[in-house]
A and B are shown apart, each in its own frame.
Chain A
Amino acid sequence: MTAAAAAETAQPRTERLVHAVNVTKSFHHNEVLKGIDLDVDRGQVVCLLGPSGSGKTTFLRCINQLETIDGGRIWVDGRLMGYDDRDGRLYRLKNKQIAAQRREIGMVFQRFNLFPHMTAIENVMEAPVQVKGEGKKESRVRAQALLDRVGLGDRCTAYPAQLSGGQQQRVAIARALAMQPKLMLFDEPTSALDPELVGEVLAVIRELADEGMTMIVVTHEMSFARDVADTVVFMDAGVVVEAGRPREVLGNPQHQRTKTFLTRLHSEHDHP
């Protein structure tokens, strides 16, 4: 506990919420992340862009420790994720402590991953009740409010199989918000959706951004990145190629790889 406090003093509470330094990760000798640095300030929206296989999703999963990192460090709100730093030596935290760290970070998955044996409102209530020990009545009221907020107040008793993809993803967002996270991670939240359902999900995420939620979004939706992101980060082959304001990176890319990616993306949009 004292070590955790020390880590906190080492990273004083600032405007910075996420601080990642030189993060590396390999899968079976295949280096997926080759030293990623990323800073995200409170209230900021960061979009991670890049071709598939560039390591965006893996990096996102490293932030909330769904993947363990091989090297580097990630701090969220001043806390070193997954490890205890004792005089420069890292010790892996216990699974319960890691679980506690994850409560501060909401995640939305590409394939929604709603719990199919529970109704929409039960999906939203589950973690607050089971993990935080919140009362059922109180939790139900909050879950109802969250479902209202994502426009599904009237589908509380529906099971995931009875909802459209867009509705499922909105329930998933409400479920993540129910833990009152400081940070939201979105892993290609609209990639598994039919085109006509993309808009309703992006609208919810956009609203969340307007309310000041800090979030990191892996996406292929360029117009969303341009409109909503404070920073876009372009990744390729496990490194950050360039990062900056969306207008600069998307409008006037400095690197060849970024240019190639954007041209390819545009030509796909023009000739689908």
Chain B
Amino acid sequence: MTSATETVERKGLSPRQRARRSRGIQYAVLVVLVLIAAVSADWGQIVSVFFKPQFIKEAFQNGLLTALVKTLEYTAGAFVIGLVGGTVLALMKLSQVGPYRWIATAYIEFFRGLPAIVVFIAFSLLPLAFEGMTIPWDPYGVVWLALGIVASAYMAEVIRAGIQAVPKGQVEAARSLGMPAGLATRKIVLPQAFRIVLPPLTNDLILLVKDSSLVFMIGVAADGYELTGFGRDLANTEANLTPLVTAGFCYLLITLPLGILVRRLEARTERTR
């Protein structure tokens, strides 16, 4: 009898009431789990291993900011190479000339399919393989080249999609005004294509910030350390993770604002459509 009334009652719940009840149960479980974690964890230990103020201070004194600047420099240079290289590759891939298309396709597929770290290891071994070989602007030259080679492959595909998203009528209008193909591409197609791909390109920039951490594979000198190299080095000497965690937070300092920027840009393109 009671069970019968209960089912009637349950059936009587509106979908909204049912959703509210299930959400309530989820919250309760979550709170319990958090409490268990908070009580059982050894907070003193956690703080002293990951967030020891003494080491945070030491990180700042030993050049955390220099490492942050290095990360920015490595990323910016690689982004420029990636942007220029990616644009050239995208135009090649859309070219009427067969060999251009083949070269671009081969390049893009090769470097997109390869883990970035393999490229970096290859660059670290280059001076061994070719004796006496030097890449100018050490260490920037190597870093920019290695990161830029990989980035251009990713960005080429994004830019190609952007170029193809520009309506055909735009090129026809430019041609009907007597613009040669190159001029129409530079003045009419590419400016619109870049506007379209601004959000995905910013995403590539975020990936590039993180990929710059692979620089330690090339084996740059200590004064060339970016955030990860710096954090790892200091964490090693101190046998404590705090410097690495501090360096990690610095990445968020860069990537979080970029992430917000991407969302803003996406919202803007959504509006203009």
Contact = CB atoms under 8 A, between A and B. Distances in A.
Contact of B173 (A95, A100, A115): A115
B24 interface: no
B14 interface: no
A131 B183 contact: yes
Contacts of A161: 272
A215 interface: no
Given A113-B170, A115-B170, A161-B272, A107 B188 contact: no
Contacts of B177: 102-103, 126-127, 131, 175-176, 179
Contact of A130 (B170, B175, B183): B183
A109 B195 CA distance: 24
Choose among B169, B180, B195 the residue with the greatest number of A CB atoms under 10 Å from its CB.
Answer: B180
Q: Is the interface of B mostly helix, strand, loop or mixed?
A: helix
Interface string A31-73: 0000000000000000000000000000000001010000000
Contacts of A113: 167, 169-170, 172-173
Given A111-B169, A115-B170, A131-B183, A106 B192 contact: no
A109 B172 contact: yes
B195 A117 contact: yes
Contacts of B176: 64, 66, 102, 105-107, 109, 176
B115 interface: no
A95 B181 CA distance: 8
A103 B178 CA distance: 4
A99 interface: yes
Interface string B106-147: 000000000000000000000000000000000000000000
A-B pairs with lowest CB-CB distance, top 6? A103-B178, A113-B173, A127-B177, A107-B176, A113-B169, A102-B178
12 contacts: A66-B175, A66-B176, A95-B180, A102-B175, A102-B178, A109-B173, A113-B169, A115-B170, A117-B192, A127-B177, A130-B179, A131-B178
